Chain A
Amino acid sequence: MSEPFFSQLKCRECGALYPKKAIHVCEYDFGPLEADYDYGKIRAAISRGKIQSRPLTMWRYRELLPIDGEPTVGLKVGFTPLVKADRLAEALGVSELYVKNDAVNYPTLSFKDRVVAVALSRARELGFKIVACASTGNLANSVAANAAAAGLESYVLIPYDLERSKVLNSLVYGTRVIGIEGAYDQVNRLCSEIAGKHGWGFVNVNLRPYYAEGSKTMGFEIIEQLGWEIPAHTVIPMASGSLLTKINKAYREAVKVGLVSESKFGIYGAQAAGCNPIAAAQKAGTDLIRPVPKPDTIAKSLAIGTPADGYYAVNVMRNTGGAAEDATDSEIIDAIKLLAETEGIFTETAGGVTLACAQKLIVSGKIPRDERIVICITGNGLKTAEALDGHLPPPARIKPSLREFDALIAK
């Protein structure tokens, strides 16, 4: 089928138009390229009813995703639960709170399956046989799994010192895992050199305009799951800042194509205190992002010291009346436990960052207590289990004896 909705790529800085190939920066001013759509056509073609008649996956928003034909990779990704979190709401002292739970996204338990589904579907359309990524862990897991299922060869490049489970969860799919002795920014720099030299499809380098759009589906789902309303406040973790800018874009596009009526919303960003270049800029009232050369946080998935979309993320927060926060390692651990104990959801360290920052934003009054709040939980706790080492009591151990059991619970 020929696809009339996604027309071209467009420079975010100067607006120059480019053909929809594996390119990601403007030749003229080095600005990032972004997918550009014919919203008039989409508006005429899309409706709530049409979307609701489709399978419960991220692809139900197909018209607003940048591929030409039918998707071929990641067909089952998305439509994760939006949990009304009443016990957590009570703990935080707010009236209406939801958790968007991408800790159970399919197949690799993070929101990255969304971006990879789009990037690899597009990679196939563009004829790539080898795909790759620079990753802080979750993206590598998702590229490895989805490439395996699609029969594509893959390479994933990661900082060498990631969590054990994150590394394992790439290795098992038979991908080539390459640990780089350096922080993420150095991994990323190497990947842009490799992409230039080897002509592979790097999902977050030369395929980044396609990849990034996948994050919008988290926003579309939130709107639909709230009964076609945009939440007043959304709290989102930031590494490069892409997810945050794309949830904002999803909310705007949903209005533009007539799926929801316009309403005021605030977008809030969360980072770890040990790697907070975007949050620090937002708090200082500037959009000049000062790189963090040596990130130091247990939230390794968010440890990007030179965030590619930092400038845009700060501006989204400013323009929507949102704000940013950052959380220390111990606040992250406490938040992981709080989410588990109140809602039965075990998130990775990035989710701890998000909840801890939401809490701080509520306490400081930046998020009001009596309006609807959504927090985006983007990854699964089993992948960063070692972050909890020493923070949970060991299980009790007894003989298989009723007397020992009774003595134990009487304590």
Chain B
Amino acid sequence: MAIEVSIPTPLRGLTGNQDTVSAGGADIGALIDDLEKNYPGIKARLVDEAGNLRRFVNIYVNGEDVRFLQDKATKLSADDEVSIVPAIAGG
């Protein structure tokens, strides 16, 4: 199952400058592991040592923040759109 994942500028160094990549996984946790296989180093930028999503990284599934879904256990299907967006600092 291939899901489109959009990658923010600061992480494109890890994806060969691609702004979207495809990855697979039944849920967000599995998707992150799959991303790590193809783009080593990306996982550590998204989750902390304990495996929790980093506080200032947002992952959206079809526009919904996974923190308000099932977090890393949020289920995915093939036509979902996933985007990784660092929190906007400021204000």
Proximity string of chain B (77-91) to chain A, C-beta cutoff 8 Å, 1 when within and 0 when not: 000000000111111
Cross-chain contact A24 with B90 (CB below 8 angstroms)? yes
Cross-chain contact A204 with B90 (CB below 8 angstroms)? yes
**B61 smallest CB distance to A (angstroms):** 16
Cross-chain contact B57 with A30 (CB below 8 angstroms)? yes
Cross-chain contact A32 with B56 (CB below 8 angstroms)? yes
Q: How far is the CA of A288 from the CA of B58 in the complex (A)?
A: 12
The yes or no answer to A7 lying at the interface (CB within 8 A) is no
| Known A29-B45, A29-B48, A202-B90; 6 more pairs at CB < 8 Å | A13-B54, A30-B56, A30-B86, A31-B55, A304-B91, A306-B91
In-complex Cβ contact of A308 among B65, B68, B89 (8 A): B89
In-complex Cβ contact of A188 among B55, B86, B88 (8 A): B88
Cross-chain contact B57 with A188 (CB below 8 angstroms)? no
Q: Which of B31-74 contact A (CB under 8 A)?
A: 45, 48, 54-57, 65, 67-68
Q: Which of A156-196 contact B (CB under 8 A)?
A: 184-185, 188-189, 191-192
In-complex Cβ contact of A29 among B54, B67, B89, B90 (8 A): B54
How many residue-residue contacts, CB under 8 A, span A and B?
Answer: 65
Cross-chain contact A204 with B91 (CB below 8 angstroms)? yes
Can you pick out 22 interface pairs between chain A and chain B where the beta carbons lie within 8 Å of each other?
Answer: A25-B86, A25-B89, A27-B10, A28-B45, A29-B55, A29-B56, A30-B87, A30-B89, A31-B54, A134-B91, A192-B88, A192-B89, A208-B89, A239-B91, A240-B91, A304-B91, A306-B87, A307-B91, A308-B87, A308-B88, A308-B89, A311-B55
For the complex of A and B, 9 pairs with smallest distance between CB atoms = A30-B56, A30-B86, A205-B90, A240-B91, A188-B91, A29-B54, A308-B91, A204-B90, A188-B90
Cross-chain contact B90 with A30 (CB below 8 angstroms)? no
Interface size for chain A: under 10, 10 to 19, 20 to 34, or 35 or more residues?
20 to 34
Which chain A positions have C-beta within 8 A of B91? Answer: 134, 184-185, 188, 204, 239-240, 304, 306-308
**Known pairs A13-B56, A29-B56; A306 contacts B45 (CB<8 A):** no
The yes or no answer to A290 lying at the interface (CB within 8 A) is yes
Which chain B positions have C-beta within 8 A of A185? Answer: 88, 91
Quick one: closest B residue to A189, CB to CB?
Answer: B88
Q: Which of A256-307 contact B (CB under 8 A)?
A: 288, 290-291, 304, 306-307
